[in-house]
C-alpha cells in the first residue's frame, strides 16, 4: 500500500476517497483562480480595450477551447503508451502558468489569441492524463464521487478567481493589465503543489507494455457504449457555447465593467455546490436520467437568457447554467472511465475531448456570428434548440434500450 492509500479520507458513505484526489482538486483550484482572474475579464477587455467584435470573441474562445480538447487526444494516448500520467500533468500545468504574463502584455486580439492558445495547449496536455490519474487512483465504487469532488474544488477556484478579479478592478480603477499580472502567482503555486503533493500509483513494470494505443486493434477495444458517450458529449458541447456570452449578456443589462466577474462567480458557485452531490448521485442512479435532467436545466437557462436582459432573468439563466454544469460534467467523465479499458483511459479521454473540442469551436463561432447578425436573444434561442434536440436523442435511446431489456 503506498503513502497515498494510507492517507485516504473517508467519504460520507464510508467509502474512502484517496488524499491524492483532494490534492489534485486543490491543484485545479489554484490554476482556476489563475485562469479566471483573466478569463472573467477577457471578453470585456477584448471589446472595450482592443475593439474586438462578438464574433472575434467567440472565435478566440472557440479556438482556444477546441485546441485544449484536441491536444488531449495526443497527451492521453502518450500517457497510455508511457504508462505515466503525472509528468504530462506537470508539463501542462506549467505551460498554463507560463502563459499568464502574455495576457498582460497583449496589445491586440491576435496576441490575446496566441496567449489563449498557449494556455489551452497546457490545459490540453494535462487534461486527459489528469482525468486518467483520477480514475487510476479512485476505487471504482466511489469514482463518481471522486470526479465530483475534484470538479467541485476546481469550480471553487473558478469563482474565487473572478471574485478576486472584481475586487482588484475596483481597487485599481479598472486596470485590466495589473489584474492580469496577479494571475501569475496562483498558477505557479498549482504547479508546485502537483509536483510535490501528488504521488502517482506505482505500476507493475511486468504488466505494462509500451503499445501504440491509437492502433486499429487497440481502438477496437473501445466499446460502442464508449463511443456513445463520446457522441453525446460532443452534442452537449455544441448546445453549450462559451461562458463569454453570459458575461456579454449581463453587460447588455447594465452590469458595470468592474462587476463583470460576478457572472462567473455566480455560475461557478452553483457549479461548485452541485458537482459533488450529483457526482455522488451518479454512483447509484441512471446516467441517462441525469443527462436528461442536465439538458432540461440547460434549456431553462437558454430560455431565461433569451427572454430578457433584465438582471432577474440574466441571473436566473446564469444560475441554471451552473447547475447544468454541476449535473453533467463530472458525470460524463465518470461515464468515460466506466466504458473504457483501464490501460486506454488516457486515449479514451483524449478522443472524448477531441470531439467536444471540435463542437466547442463550432458552437462558439456560431454563437458569435448569430450575436452580431441577429442579436443576443437569437443566440440563446439557438442554444435551447440544440439542447432540446440532444434531449430527444437521449430519451429515444433510453426508450429503445428499455424495450430491448
Q: Is the pLDDT of residue 8 over 50?
A: no
What pLDDT, on the 0 to 100 scale, is given for residue 181?
94
Q: Is the pLDDT of residue 1 over 50?
A: no
Q: Is the pLDDT of residue 389 over 70?
A: yes
Angstrom distance (rounded) from CA 231 to CA 389: 13
Q: Is the pLDDT of residue 4 over 50?
A: no
Mean pLDDT of 29-42: 91
Angstrom distance (rounded) from CA 178 to CA 131: 33
Mean pLDDT of 25-36: 92
136's grid cell: 487510476
Residue (of 65, 26, 387) closest to 193 by Cα position: 26
What region, left, alpha or beta, does residue 254 occupy, with left being phi > 0 and alpha being psi -120 to 50 degrees?
left
What pLDDT, on the 0 to 100 scale, is given for residue 3?
35
3's grid cell: 503513502
User: Would you report the helix, strand and coil content of the chain in percent, each value rounded to 5?
Assistant: 80, 0, 20
Q: What residue ranges do the domains of the chain occupy?
A: 19-199+218-404
Q: Is 242 helix (H, G, I), strand (E, B) or coil?
A: coil
Angstrom distance (rounded) from CA 243 to CA 390: 19
What pLDDT, on the 0 to 100 scale, is given for residue 20?
85
Mean pLDDT of 322-337: 88
What pLDDT, on the 0 to 100 scale, is given for residue 6?
36
CATH number for the domain running over 19-199+218-404: 1.20.1250.20
- pTM, to two decimals: 0.67
What pLDDT, on the 0 to 100 scale, is given for residue 264?
79
> For residue 238, how many C-alpha atoms fall within 13 Å in the half-sphere facing its CB?
18
Report pLDDT digits (tens) over 173-212. Answer: 888 899 999 999 999 999 999 998 888 877 665 554 555 5
What pLDDT, on the 0 to 100 scale, is given for residue 356?
80
CA distances from 182 to 158, 163, 201, 234 (A): 15, 13, 34, 34
What pLDDT, on the 0 to 100 scale, is given for residue 205?
56
Angstrom distance (rounded) from CA 128 to CA 71: 9
Angstrom distance (rounded) from CA 118 to CA 105: 14
Angstrom distance (rounded) from CA 13 to CA 227: 31
Report pLDDT digits (tens) over 201-219. Answer: 776 655 545 555 566 666 7
Q: Is the pLDDT of residue 123 over 70?
A: yes
**Torsion angle (degrees, nearest 10) of CA 232, 238, 239, 242:** 130
What proportion of the chain, given as a percentage, has pLDDT over 90?
A: 21
What pLDDT, on the 0 to 100 scale, is given for residue 14?
54
Angstrom distance (rounded) from CA 132 to CA 83: 11
Q: Is the pLDDT of residue 357 over 80?
A: no
What pLDDT, on the 0 to 100 scale, is given for residue 210?
54
Contact 322, 274 (CB under 8 A): yes
What pLDDT, on the 0 to 100 scale, is given for residue 11?
46
Q: What angle do CA 82, 88, 93 make, to 5 degrees?
A: 175
What pLDDT, on the 0 to 100 scale, is given for residue 9?
44
Q: Is 25 helix (H, G, I), strand (E, B) or coil?
A: helix
CA distances from 122 to 19, 181, 249 (A): 24, 19, 29
What proportion of the chain, given as a percentage, has pLDDT over 70?
A: 89
What pLDDT, on the 0 to 100 scale, is given for residue 2?
39
Angstrom distance (rounded) from CA 362 to CA 137: 34
Mean pLDDT of 262-290: 84
What pLDDT, on the 0 to 100 scale, is given for residue 10?
46
What pLDDT, on the 0 to 100 scale, is given for residue 7?
40
Mean pLDDT of 75-101: 86
Amino acid at each position: 500500500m503506498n503513502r497515498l492509500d494510507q492517507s485516504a479520507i473517508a467519504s460520507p458513505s464510508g467509502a474512502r476517497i484517496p488524499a491524492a484526489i483532494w490534492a489534485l482538486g486543490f491543484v485545479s483550484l489554484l490554476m482556476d483562480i489563475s485562469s479566471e482572474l483573466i478569463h472573467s475579464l477577457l471578453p470585456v477587455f477584448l471589446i472595450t480595450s482592443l475593439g474586438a467584435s462578438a464574433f472575434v470573441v467567440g472565435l478566440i474562445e472557440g479556438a482556444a477551447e477546441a485546441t485544449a480538447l484536441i491536444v488531449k487526444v495526443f497527451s492521453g494516448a502518450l500517457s497510455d503508451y508511457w504508462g505515466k500520467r503525472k509528468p504530462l500533468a506537470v508539463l501542462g500545468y506549467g505551460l498554463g502558468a507560463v502563459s499568464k504574463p502574455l495576457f498582460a502584455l497583449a496589445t491586440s486580439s491576435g496576441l490575446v489569441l496566441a496567449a489563449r492558445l498557449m494556455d489551452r495547449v497546457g490545459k490540453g496536455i494535462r487534461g486527459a492524463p489528469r482525468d486518467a490519474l483520477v480514475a487510476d487512483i479512485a476505487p471504482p465504487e466511489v469514482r463518481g464521487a471522486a470526479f465530483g469532488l475534484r470538479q467541485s474544488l476546481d469550480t471553487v477556484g473558478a469563482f474565487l478567481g473572478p471574485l478576486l478579479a472584481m475586487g482588484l478592478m475596483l481597487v485599481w480603477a479598472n486596470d485590466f493589465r495589473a489584474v492580469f499580472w496577479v494571475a501569475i502567482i496562483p498558477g505557479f503555486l498549482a504547479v508546485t503543489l502537483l509536483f510535490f503533493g501528488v504521488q502517482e500509483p506505482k505500476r507493475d513494470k511486468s504488466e505494462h507494455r509500451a503499445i501504440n494505443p491509437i492502433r486499429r486493434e487497440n481502438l477496437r477495444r473501445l466499446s460502442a457504449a464508449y463511443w456513445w458517450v463520446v457522441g453525446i458529449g460532443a452534442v452537449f458541447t455544441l448546445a453549450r457555447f462559451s461562458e463569454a456570452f453570459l458575461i456579454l449578456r449581463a453587460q447588455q443589462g447594465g452590469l458595470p465593467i468592474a462587476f463583470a466577474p460576478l457572472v462567473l462567480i455566480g455560475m461557478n458557485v452553483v457549479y461548485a455546490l452541485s458537482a459533488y452531490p450529483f457526482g455522488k448521485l451518479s454512483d447509484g442512479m441512471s446516467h441517462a436520467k441525469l443527462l436528461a435532467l442536465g439538458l432540461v436545466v440547460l434549456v431553462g437557462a437558454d430560455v431565461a437568457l433569451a427572454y430578457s436582459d433584465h438582471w432577474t432573468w440574466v441571473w436566473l439563466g446564469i444560475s441554471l447554467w451552473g447547475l447544468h454544469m454541476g449535473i453533467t460534467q463530472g458525470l460524463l467523465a465518470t461515464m468515460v472511465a466506466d466504458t473504457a479499458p483501464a490501460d486506454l483511459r488516457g486515449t479514451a479521454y483524449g478522443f472524448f475531448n477531441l470531439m467536444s473540442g471540435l463542437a466547442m469551436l463550432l458552437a462558439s463561432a456560431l454563437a458569435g456570428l448569430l450575436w452580431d447578425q441577429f442579436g443576443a436573444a437569437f443566440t440563446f434561442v439557438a442554444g435551447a434548440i440544440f439542447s432540446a434536440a440532444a434531449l430527444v436523442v437521449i430519451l429515444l435511446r433510453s426508450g429503445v434500450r428499455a424495450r430491448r431489456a
